[in-house]
Structure 1
Amino acid sequence: MPSLLELLRPDRRLAMHLPVHGRGAALPPRLRRLLRQSPGSWDLPELPEIGGPLERQGAVASSQAQLAEAMGVDHCWFGVNGATGLLQAGLLAMAQPGDAVLLPRNAHRCLIAACELGGVMPVFLPVPFLADRGHAGSMNAEGLRQSLDPWPDPGRPISGAVLVHPTYHGYSAEIRELIELLHAKGLPVMVDEAHGTHLAFAAKRSRPLSALAAGADLVVHSLHKSAPGLAQTAVLWHRAQRVDHARLHRSLARLQTTSPSALLLASCETTLNWLFSHHWSSLYEDRRSEAINLVDDLRRRGVHIHASDDPLRLILATGELGVSGLDADDLCMRQGVIAELPEPLCLTFCLGFARHRGLAKRLLRIWRALALEGGGVPLTQIPDPPLQSTSIPELTPDEAQRRAHCIRPLAQCVDHIAAELICPYPPGVPLLVPGERISADRCRWLQSQHQRWPDQVPGMVKVLA
């Protein structure tokens, strides 16, 4: 097995995965120049002139203040623990121990971890399921309205709500309407927009709309999943009307490193400044047009591609050929193309912001090779999960994981309370959360998922003893 250092050398394979800078090809120009300088010259501590995201003085504080003003919000913080750390800090700033928060069923697993850390009860809101693709779609206003009527009663105060927009696959929510509905209920709203950073920097009339333009109180952007920064970089935008600044600052201090990488902080600053430039606007429109033309060309040639609201996410419908996305991913690897997200019924590519010459020909060749392997009999669709109504776990995730547990086969878990998270990664969307009681139909659905995805969905599960 080669060492990690050996694996970081240049690679001839086509990078259709995160980060979206395409192995450096689309990094902001100033950042590329920095990385060409003397090795290690950028590996610095929080020197007084540099500071850090939570410091009042220094270049970082100055940059954050300027960017907040440019974005039209009250505060901005850089993150070097990805969107994960900022989402967790935001949730813990909204909810006190013993409170509850509204989470969409397709919330990222890091938010469940935040509930564990803070003794918070998640109240799950249903999200449409796309059976022909085997994954969640996006939330709509009517669905949320029905979920909140009657108002969920977890036996404790509900102190905030989280939304996902867009999803990992690029499906956008009716974000303005959702935020307005939740604000009308008196709740602050945080939006996980990790996969939609580019929406905030597109033309003003562009659709889908960014959660920042839609009035969210907290928005977390990844700067490597949907912007061309280095991996592990992110930004949190804050409007102070509904979320207290001091509480948010304390929450960030609990979860952020005291030794942030100066290189990653510089990547945050440089990437955001690049996104505000007219050069970025031109590059983004070019890549977006190229992606739309690519999909149109492939469809004309008979390649089946699922629709997405983000043309930079290409979802290959491998199940229609009788091939799982997991097997398709193996074939792509052999063909020198690294995809982003294999699933039982599809394979998602992240086109990113680098230019990929000859991509249409390579994907067409892959599709034809898959057609030969599949035999032409489509795979059966994945049935909707029994999660189509608002649900409240019986115990908070932290309570469930502190209690004595045993391990049972899935088939013997009916009516037991889960003591562990079942969560395929990626995409990091939980299928079972600690504290939830496993009904018979939920058990059957999980068993079907295990048969399709045995490496990600275990056949043995921890439940309360």
Structure 2
Amino acid sequence: MCIPCSCCCCCAGNLCMSDQEKAAAESTEDGGNGGADPYATNAPFVSALMAFAERDPACFQFPGHNRGKAAPAMLSQLFGPDVFAYDLSPIPRIGNLFSSKGPLSDAQKLAAEVFGSSETWFLVGGSSCGVMASIMATCSPGDFLVLPRNLHVSATHAMVLSGAIPKYITPEYSSLWDVAGGVTPSQVETAIEELKEAGKRAAAVLITSPTYQGICSRIDEITKLCHSHGLPVIVDEAHGAHFKFHPRFPKTALEQGADLVVQSTHKVLSSLSQSSMLHTSGHRVDRERVRRCLEALQSTSSSYLLLASLDAARAQLSKNPEAILSKAMEMADLARLQIEQIPGLSILDASSFSSDFPNMDPLRVTVGVSRLGLTGFKVNELLIDKHAVIPEFEGMRSVTLVFNWGTSMEHIERLITALSHLSTRFLDEDQSQNQVGSGEITPFAGFRRELSPRDAFFAKKRNVDIGESLGEICGELICTFPPGVPVLNPGEVITREALEYLQDARNKGAVIMGAADPRLSSMVVCGG
């Protein structure tokens, strides 16, 4: 029986703690290096959560499954019964995302040390939350934000919330691959100077690097340029959380001087989906404002499971990640060599773009499939349904494969067998070298903004037939998914090029996201 004592705060949901729990929780006093539990020094949040759960407390708190006792049977069968013991409402001694002390605070400090930041915040709303908080922390209503047109949808949502106005950079686009490249320093400089000539000033610069296909921009040159203008640099490095942990990887955005960096720890690293980190470096960004923005965006009932996975993933990186990631790169290199030998297939590399993008993520392999007379959407479907092989991304003319330290030789063999089968079945050497067609339709051609994203979001709207939408101001955010890059943003004029691209993508199997009518028979436009 738990007898209330001076350390208990039962009315706040805090049960009397064992010595083991106290050791884990109070290790904060020496930066996470104290405590009787040896695991506490390696993963303080995981350790505290395990110690608490092992007590099998009588819970009079949320969630309603009561540590699995009332969990739906189908979920217990799906997840196993043990996982529910750790799905708890915030416990004061264990902490929450807004605690300044405790095991969770310790875990974030250890993450900052490992990833090389001044401060790190755990995110349970994915990298989208980090991108939104970064923009809100650096831009006020009416401020201009320089960013690439192949931005993630979260950046548009952030501009709606913050009132920032976009100054877009159009990245180089390969019609042959239906893939956008990175952003060059000269493009960034031009955007900054164009704002100055118009009597405006940028508040921040946002760069996406690497892209979904692993293409990296020259962040070091961009940060030096922006800092010379007094501008903070935000890098959406969602796809590059692993870069710090092997010399063959490109340098991280933090190593290249970026001020705010968002990383999806769940992509190549091993935390649970939806868990990410936001890192900051230097003094150009007000950290207290970042914290306030995160409090506005993140749940007050943050999942302990997601938070524990971030702590555990960081701890895993202390166990010789270079050797583990070397294995992943060996698997990627082997797959790349074997895929190049399969008739009708090709591999995306830096030579696909005229601009100089010297660095690409070696764990990304984008396979061109158009010579098979198939779209990437169809190849993805066939690989999954017929061969139980799942690519990460499918596009008009390619599929992208991502390798990690869980990739095995057996996986490579199944992949090569499946692709070889598709080549044998669909390649016809007597037909065109590019049966899907390379075309010149691009998703960013001729776009023009009439309203800010925020003004367009709150403007009166109406539905019009797709044939009547040309020239209207778009009232919704429309993109193909993945990767969640808008083809039309709220406030942009609907162009013939954008309509043709969206309709072509829909007809070839793309999922249209954001549109009220995903069939694109009608569109939402601004104006009563």
TM-score range, shorter chain: 0.7 to 0.9
**Which shows bigger deviation, 353-362 or 124-133?**
353-362
Is residue 2:479 matched to residue 1:417? Answer: no
8 Å contact kept, 2:364–2:402: yes
1:461 aligns with 523
Q: 91, 105, 115: which one pairs with 2:135?
A: 91
Per-residue deviation, 1:367: 2.6
Q: 217, 238, 258: which one pairs with 2:300?
A: 258
Matches within 5 A, 1:390-429: 393-429=449-485
Residue by residue over 1:401-433, the C-alpha shift from the partner in whole angstroms, topping out at 9 and shown as x without a partner, is 222223334443232111111111110001110
Q: 282, 290, 293: which one pairs with 2:331?
A: 290
Matches within 5 A, 1:126-165: 126-151=170-195, 157-165=201-209
Q: Find the aligned partners of 1:258 and 1:246 in 2 and give their Cα distance.
A: 18
Residue by residue over 1:358-383, the C-alpha shift from the partner in whole angstroms, topping out at 9 and shown as x without a partner, is 33443333334333235454211142
1:281 aligns with 322
**Which shows bigger deviation, 86-95 or 265-274?**
265-274
Matches within 5 A, 1:14-413: 38-151=82-195, 157-203=201-247, 206-275=248-317, 277-302=318-343, 304-308=345-349, 309-334=360-385, 335-371=387-423, 372-373=425-426, 375=428, 376-377=431-432, 378-383=435-440, 385=442, 387=444, 393-413=449-469
* SS of residue matched to 1:215: coil
Q: Find the aligned partners of 1:454 and 1:280 in 2 and give their Cα distance.
A: 36
- What residue identity is the alignment partner of 2:265? L
Per-residue deviation, 1:241: 1.2
Per-residue deviation, 1:184: 2.0
Q: Find the aligned partners of 2:199 and 2:459 in 1 and give their Cα distance.
A: 21
* SS of residue matched to 2:239: coil
The change in CA–CA distance for 1:154 and 1:58 in structure 2 (over 3 A counts) is farther
- What residue identity is the alignment partner of 1:168? Y
1:436 aligns with 492
2:22 aligns with none
Residue by residue over 1:11-64, the C-alpha shift from the partner in whole angstroms, topping out at 9 and shown as x without a partner, is xxxxxxxxxxxxxxxxxx988x97999442212232222112321111111222
* SS of residue matched to 1:150: helix
The change in CA–CA distance for 1:152 and 1:329 in structure 2 (over 3 A counts) is farther
2:10 aligns with none
Q: Find the aligned partners of 2:301 and 2:511 in 1 and give their Cα distance.
A: 35
Residue by residue over 1:302-325, the C-alpha shift from the partner in whole angstroms, topping out at 9 and shown as x without a partner, is 362323522322222111211011
Q: Find the aligned partners of 1:181 and 1:441 in 2 and give their Cα distance.
A: 33
The change in CA–CA distance for 1:148 and 1:351 in structure 2 (over 3 A counts) is same
Q: Find the aligned partners of 2:197 and 2:412 in 1 and give their Cα distance.
A: 51
- What residue identity is the alignment partner of 1:56? S
Q: Find the aligned partners of 1:398 and 1:149 in 2 and give their Cα distance.
A: 24
Q: Find the aligned partners of 2:493 and 2:464 in 1 and give their Cα distance.
A: 14
8 Å contact kept, 2:195–2:201: no
Per-residue deviation, 1:235: 0.8
Per-residue deviation, 1:210: 0.9
Q: Find the aligned partners of 1:264 and 1:272 in 2 and give their Cα distance.
A: 13
8 Å contact kept, 1:179–1:189: yes
Per-residue deviation, 1:280: 1.4
8 Å contact kept, 1:97–1:120: yes
8 Å contact kept, 2:325–2:404: no
Q: Find the aligned partners of 1:281 and 1:37 in 2 and give their Cα distance.
A: 34
- Which structure would you say has the larger Rg? 2
TM-score (norm. length: structure 2): 0.76
8 Å contact kept, 2:146–2:188: no
Identity of aligned residues (%): 28
The change in CA–CA distance for 1:257 and 1:382 in structure 2 (over 3 A counts) is farther
- What residue identity is the alignment partner of 2:170? P
TM-score (norm. length: structure 1): 0.85
Instruction: Give the superposed CA RMSD.
Output: 2.7
Structure 2 gap ranges (5+): 1-41, 51-78, 350-359, 513-517
- What residue identity is the alignment partner of 2:475? A
8 Å contact kept, 1:98–1:119: yes
8 Å contact kept, 2:175–2:442: no
1:6 aligns with none
